[in-house]
Structure 1
Amino acid sequence: MDPVFRVLCLGADAPDLVASSYGPFVVQGCGSLDEVAVRLREEAHDALLLYSDAPAALAQWPALAQAVLDTAVIVVLGAPAPAEAVELLQFGVQDVLADAGDAPRALRLAIERRRLQAAAGRGYSTDLPTGLPNHAQLLEHMTHLLALREREPAPMALIVLRVDGLAAVAQTLGQEAADVLRRKAAVRLRAALRASDVVASIGHDAFAVLLAWIDSPADGERVMDKLAAILSQPYSVAGRAQRLLPHAGLASYPEHGKNAEALMRRALGAALQFTPMGRDVMLPADRGPAAAANDEEA
């Protein structure tokens, strides 16, 4: 049985799309880019088809960064200039069409290509013990988002959280127990953040959190303090209460840099210089059998 592809469509009805042999497609129409952004947040779609005569408006659309991450985006411009088409491709759009009649084929191929790329990329882009994006994948995501920020400036922040205590767990309970502890820390970070925020593993003892949408740089400091406090709460591993000692660092865009590498260096450097409170009571990690807060077995 052929899969059914869910398509969000802006700017035109698509009867040919519904009847195409490249489907079956289920098409949901939208009347504005704002409505598209809302629908994308509410439910998953395989593709987004945008009919437009204003490519500059699409390039400056704030939700485009999330749209190209979540769906295969195809744009029909009618008579696109080469520079306009290339710019949209740089922002992550899969294809730019001059003829709406090519939309069914372009959509199906874009969906399949995106699935193949995702399958191929999971091996190199994921930290296997935690299931989080790894360092390279985070930098790639940041580079893409920062390119959009050049057109639509807005504050964002990168938080790095280095943790002490994993090595002690690995020595006393084994590497598998240390990996369980890392997974539990990852679960806590994800649970404490919005869906639009990105959590990544950037090393055996460090996490990074990208706050893609913040109102002011002060929000980054507030979230950093909250995450450090959450990570420092006890965990249950192998029936024992374990603790991690987080060292936190923050880099704000654009104050501390305008490219991914500069922001990462700044946040890492700040985390290395960070002196956490309560060092004498936080370590050693192994405290013997005890209950741990907010810590279901992973």
Structure 2
Amino acid sequence: MFKVKNFNDVKSFATEAKTKLVYGRNFTLVDTPGLFDSGRSLGAVNPELLRCIIECAPGPHIFLIILKVEKYTEQEEDVITKIRQYFSDDALKYAAVVFTHGDQLPEGMKIEQYAAQSEGLWELVQKCGGRCHVFDNRYWKNKKEEEYRSNTFQLAELLNTIDKIIMANRGGHYSNTVLKNIEREIQEEVKLLKLSSENMSEDEIRQQVKSIVLQKQSQNNFQFWKKVSVGVGLLAVLIFVRLYWKSNAVQVPLHTIESVREAGENALQQAAEHAIPNTFEAICNHLNALFEKIYNPFCPFE
């Protein structure tokens, strides 16, 4: 139901959600972009991360961690390390690892044996309660010679695993403060929309509300980081000026320092807005770059 996403295609880096009847039950699958792929900037990841959280609200019943059957390079090991680091143990109680490209699995080998070859990968599977499955959409669709290498067999196994996860968690879904706040906002918007849209179905209302909440949250995030950038940028310049004065051992009366400080702050504010926008923007960009190195955007469920 989903198109294969090309890493270089910016438009393909998007979250999608689709619902389908499978064996008598409705499943909604939220297909997220590759949040752990290297080369994605914070600006590209954050909007889709927000969309993912809104689509998942009030919380997912199951996390499916999708990986490929392949020889692991340092990059793949890094992805595994990030998943183990960013997903809390509580979230992994709701998770299963699903491998694609099952035709790459050596003959006679089961997916658990394959996963056990990598210490980091095996630790991830164990944190997911030992739950792992394998599919291959190219060769296993209609293959019936070997039951294990059949998507029909693997689908039944996955659905069985999903049932076990739901039972183990007493039918509940995963949630946290972020998801609860988003769901609360969605419910408030639903009440408002119902007052003015009597002819819309529940599903139509919720879909429209998700778009409204996404737009509001995106705007709030933009305003927040805009304020942070301005505040941190001015603070950095003031610190630099004070350190410069200190390093040059300038002896200035206290009242003069305060006057200069106040004048300096006003001048910096005006300069930031009018006189030297390029300089101020460069300072903010530099600070934001430092921020991106330490900030973890891949942790929506912490």
- State the TM-score, normalizing by the size of structure 1: 0.29
Greater relative contact order (CA < 8 Å, ≥ 6 in sequence): 2
- State the TM-score, normalizing by the size of structure 2: 0.28
In terms of fraction of residues, the more strand-rich structure is 1
Query: Which structure: larger Rg?
Result: 2
